[in-house]
Amino acid sequence: MPTSSPRRRGVRLPGRPVSAQTTDIGAKIYGLASRLYPICRSITGKGVRDTLAIVREHIELAIHEVPSGTAVFDWTVPDEWNIRDAYIKDPEGRRVVDFQRHNLHVMSYSTPVRARMSLEQLRPYLHHDPARPDAIPYRTSYYRRNWGFCLSQRQADSLAEAQYEVVIDSELAPGSLTYGELYVAGRTDREILIFTHVCHPSLANDNVSGIALATLFGAAVAAAPGRHSVRMVFAPGTIGCITWLAQNEQRLGKIDHGLVIGLLGDRGPLTYKRSQRGDAPVDRVAQYVVQGAGAKHRVIDFHPYGYDERQLCSPGFNLPVGRLTRSPNEGYPEYHSSGDDLNLIDPAALRESYDTLARIVHILDADEAYRNLSPKCEPQLGKRGLYRSTGGGGRTEMDDALLWVLNQSDGARSLLQIAQRAGIGFEIIEQAALDLERVGLLARVH
């Protein structure tokens, strides 16, 4: 059952977006993803800047430019890549392969080319995938200077022997790497870090679904900050994350919890991948939320491949950062090909992903420990207006929740631990704690 059901959420939550306010959030995320989809992104260049400019229409993103050549741990910020046009023309002057029709037709980071060549000479520069004969594959060559075109197997097989005109009007030159960062101050300076990659061209699930969802979630957090401060980073995969870590190493001690998010729009089941630690609070909370979202959903263990958890969970940092996706990387047939288009992503799936992220962040914020201030026997709840049932029957879940919270609040157990032991939804336990705190029977432990 999706977490978007208001009944399941139990109560209206203070300080965080709730589903009643976000009934059409899936459609909004889909709309934003559709706007971002046509842009030709890469790890640097105009595509990333144009993307972040659209994100900035929704949230107060700080834009950082890091010059090419900057040393970042074992890596170097590469030259900036930009592209205006590319094609392969047949002798009749027809563009048989055309970057203007699909930006996946050019291998990302292709060096400029202007040449006439035979099909035989051209073949080594053509990339196609026999396993997916109708799809244009996504290929990159960031760190080895090369050029190439990508096309469907079917089209590659149908090319006639001829002299072709081959043009890639690109530029690879010193510039900068761009990333965006949103910081929303909470009641404390302890941080929740949310990381999403922004480097893929026209691919919908991987990765405009993640960019769009992160953007609208950031707007909701900014409108209603919680206990933690929230830092959201929109950066190119791998090199962007490495660059961000190199520039922010002194601040990492403030991060209490984190999530890498992406691939959140396909119809596959939600997947939570644990942090390297495996037992961080974010692992406990995300596992609770994802498993509560239905039997199909998966929790998988850490492995050192994937997205930016590869850097954030590297041994020199070992941050408490897990990953939320639907189908994981390489986990669906359209992955990294033109098949990953706007038909693959779905507003209902985006909404469920959004609600899951919102609930994880809400619980991370609200999962505090309390102390029972009247621990000798049960305090009399009726005279404080908290005991709702009439004697002899009709005990409500909230009545039980009040008793569980009083019994278990020893100053060490957190609300989530109590919810799990009681078998009562977190939000009900949370509401019970807030009610007991209001009448002076419970105190928050800091």
Give the residues lining the site for Zn ion (CB under 5 A). 206
Retrieve residue 42's tokens. Answer: 């890469």
CB of 156 to Zn ion, least distance (A): 22
CB of 237 to Zn ion, least distance (A): 7
Number of residue whose CB is nearest Zn ion: 206
* 129-to-87, 150, 243 alpha-carbon distances in Å: 19, 9, 32
* Cβ nearer to Zn ion, comparing 206 with 427: 206
Q: Cα 19 from chain centroid?
A: 19
Peptide bond into 205 cis (omega under 30): no
CB of 46 to Zn ion, least distance (A): 20
CB of 334 to Zn ion, least distance (A): 12
CB of 205 to Zn ion, least distance (A): 9
* Cβ nearer to Zn ion, comparing 139 with 284: 139
Please check whether residue 149 is in contact with residue 87, taking contact to mean a CB–CB distance below 8 angstroms. Answer: no
* Cβ nearer to Zn ion, comparing 108 with 229: 108
CB of 206 to Zn ion, least distance (A): 4
* Cβ nearer to Zn ion, comparing 283 with 308: 308
Write the Ramachandran bin of 2: left for phi over 0, alpha for psi from -120 to 50, otherwise beta. beta
CB of 416 to Zn ion, least distance (A): 32
What residues contact residue 327 under an 8 Å CB cut-off, 6+ apart?
205, 263, 266, 268, 269, 271, 335
As a whole number of angstroms, the distance between CA 148 and CA 237 comes to: 21
CB of 319 to Zn ion, least distance (A): 21
Tally Cβ neighbours within 10 Å of residue 369.
18
Sign of CA dihedral 153, 158, 161, 166: negative
Query: Helix, strand or coil for residue 126?
Result: strand
* Cβ nearer to Zn ion, comparing 45 with 226: 45
Burial class of residue 138 (count of CB atoms within 10 Å of its CB; 0-12, 13-18, 19+): buried
Consecutive H or E run containing 374:
none
The single-letter DSSP state of residue 418 is H
CB of 29 to Zn ion, least distance (A): 19
User: Which residues make beta-bridge pairs with 83?
Assistant: 170
Q: Return the closest-CA partner of residue 385 out of 361, 402, 406, 362.
A: 402
Give the CA count within 13 Å in the CB-facing half-sphere of 350.
34
As a whole number of angstroms, the distance between CA 376 and CA 370 comes to: 16
* Cβ nearer to Zn ion, comparing 205 with 215: 205
* Cβ nearer to Zn ion, comparing 206 with 367: 206
Q: Return the closest-CA partner of residue 204 out of 308, 378, 326.
A: 326
CB of 332 to Zn ion, least distance (A): 12
Beta strand 71-72 pairing with 62-67:
unpaired
* Cβ nearer to Zn ion, comparing 206 with 256: 206
